[in-house]
Amino acid sequence: MLEVGGFTPLSTTDWPGQLAAVVFVQGCPWRCHYCHNVDLQPRGGGQPEGWPLALATLQRRQGLLDGVVFSGGEPTLDPALPEAIEAVRSLGFKVGLHTAGIYPDRLEQVLPLIDWVGFDIKANFADYEGITAMPRSGLPAQRSLHAVLQAVQHQGLGLEVRTTYHPQLHDDEQLLTLASTLVRLGIPRWVVQQFRPAHVSHAALAASWLPPSAALWQRLRDTGMDLALR
């Protein structure tokens, strides 16, 4: 059974343009310095009846919601995710997925079952360890992004690519290189997410956060990328 760490019955922001419920799947192997869902990192910390209760709520909301987003944590960590997706689809909901691409094989398994992906790009793939505190973590993310782009091309999968920005974790040149890489991969739009200082595990990051400067933002636009700040 899916290990659920939280459930939001209605969200207008987790799947842009859709009214969605959000199922927060418990567990993530990475320890991103800016993570604001640290309570969702350990496995075994979920709600005992989380999935049955979420499913019961969804059954009552048929016809009222457009879809359901599986978020986390990292939802592809949970081996029960495909079964949970099938249960949601059987109720008539579209399915969205928030992922950092940590498990490419598991992601490829569920891509045919979903309608939209919110893909978190942490940094340039060579620089991932500085964010995730895990060696070589950029390699699975890179493979996963390519799988997602193939699904966009061949099955019409919806996609949003986003990066959480903090000046201590992304210098200007790194961010510009990332923008150029995304343009080269054919990603038309990139959401730069503002760092959330609440509940993060590193207090120094919360104290030193600043949004991208106007000069940096213009340089990012000059790469040809359609940008949004959220």
pLDDT in tens, 79-91: 999 999 999 999 9
* Bridge partners, 190 (sequence order): 161, 227
Is residue 212 pLDDT above 70, yes or no? Answer: yes
Q: What pLDDT was estimated at residue 63?
A: 93
Of 3.90.650.10, 3.20.20.70, 3.40.50.620, 3.20.20.60, the CATH number of 4-229 is 3.20.20.70
pLDDT in tens, 140-189: 999 999 999 999 999 999 999 999 988 878 889 999 999 999 999 999 89
Q: What is the mean pLDDT of residues 204-208?
A: 59
Helix intervals (H) in 61-159:
81-90, 104-110, 129-132, 138-155
Q: What pLDDT was estimated at residue 30?
A: 95
Is residue 207 pLDDT above 60, yes or no? Answer: no
Q: How far is CA 225 from CA 11, 34, 182, 187, in A?
A: 27, 24, 8, 8
Q: What pLDDT was estimated at residue 200?
A: 54
- CB neighbours (10 Å) of residue 58? 21
User: Residue 190: pLDDT band by 50, 70, 90 thresholds?
Assistant: very high
Q: What is the mean pLDDT of residues 103-122?
A: 98
78 in helix, strand or coil?
coil
User: Residue 113: pLDDT band by 50, 70, 90 thresholds?
Assistant: very high
- CB neighbours (10 Å) of residue 183? 15
User: Residue 36: pLDDT band by 50, 70, 90 thresholds?
Assistant: confident
Is residue 210 pLDDT above 80, yes or no? Answer: no
For the entire predicted model, the pTM comes to: 0.94
Tell me the pLDDT of the chain averaged across its residues. Answer: 92
- To the nearest 10°, report the CA torsion of 226, 141, 1, 158: 30
User: Residue 199: pLDDT band by 50, 70, 90 thresholds?
Assistant: low
